[in-house]
Structure 1
Amino acid sequence: MLNYTIKHISATEAYAVRHPVLRAGKPIESCIFDGDDFETTFHLGIFTKNHLVGVCSFLKNNHELLTETSQYQLRGMAVLSEYQSLGLGKLILNHGEVLLTAQNIQIIWCNAREIAVDFYKKMDYKIAGEAFNIKDIGLHYVMHKTLKTKKP
């Protein structure tokens, strides 16, 4: 296992990993997501040897298929290809889930690419609704996980 560090990063820093993994061949501007700069949005980066190798962003956003009122959307989850299958995606996502649980967030959800569905299933995410296509990106599924919030 690699030595790693997870820390908060800016949206702009996240583009360095989002671009080659999620938007390869498209303009860098395609890595800028609505809500990236909202006060309630946060971005995490996972580093090995001070090199940013994975990112994910968490946006306060509710999905109409999910009834819980306290929701966050996972967006822009990406690990550089040479660092995939090493468990780094699981580590950074778990870190984000811990932070959201501490805020008493009930549900985390994402629009998962078809290729990532098995990863999210292993992380206890479930599919909601039917598959849908995102233009120029491909087939996606809404996936969600109930977080174990603290009782008041």
Structure 2
Amino acid sequence: MTSELSFIVSQVPVEETYPLRAKVLRNGGPPEAAKLAGDDRPGVATFAATDDEGRMIGCIGLFPEPCPDLPEHPGKGWRIRGMATEDEWRSRGVGTQVLKAALEHVAAEGGGLVWCNARTRAADFYRRAGFQEIGEPWDDPEIGPHVRMWREV
């Protein structure tokens, strides 16, 4: 394996992210297990990182949706959903770059408030990207402990 990391990030159809999302976020379930309500709504943007061989190694979904904890925020609300990175690519910049693509998309759309229900083990990643916690952590019975986080763009 080469020491140089090489991947590209681009906007992709949401369906292309289902296998990776299912593998990472749904305990290796079938791709259809990764379909989220609203994936097909207008304005949803999905980005993916692919390696030199064209394999998807990271992805993120961005949904136009106001934050329930900050309903009076003057900007448009954008929710991050379905963010996933292949295990062997974690801590190598993939998540940072797909998040950057999503935030650049929000900026190009006029900015606003970006938020997510982050798995607590990912909270430090989001903090490094300028997100802050809002509200109390909770435990989702199907997918584990979470905390809501947000930032402005």
TM-score of the superposition, structure 2-length normalised? 0.91
Q: Find 2:69's aligned residue among 61, 65, 68.
A: 65
Moved over 6 A (4+): none
CA offsets 1:92-145 (integer angstroms, 9 cap, x no match): 101110111111121100000011011111111000111122221111111001
1:101 maps to 2:107: yes
- After TM superposition, the structure 1 = structure 2 runs for residues 26-37 of structure 1, keeping only pairs within 5 Å, are 26-37=29-40
Q: Are 2:27 and 1:24 aligned? A: yes
2:95 corresponds, among 60, 85, 89, to: 89
Match of 1:12 among 6, 12, 15: 15
1:102-117 pair list within 5 angstroms: 102-117=108-123
Structure 1 CA distance for aligned equivalents of residues 102 and 67 of structure 2: 19
Q: Determine the structure 2 residue equivalent to 1:40.
A: 43
1:124 aligns with 2:130: yes
CA separation in 2, counterparts of 1:28 and 1:52? 14
Unaligned runs of 5+ in 2: none
Aligned residues between the structures: 147
Q: Residues of 1 paired with 2:13 and 2:77: CA distance?
A: 21
Hey, what does 1:75 align to over in structure 2? Answer: 81
- Distance in 2, matches of 1:46 and 1:26, equals 21
- TM, length-normalised to structure 1: 0.91
* Residue 144 (1) aligns with residue 147 (2): no
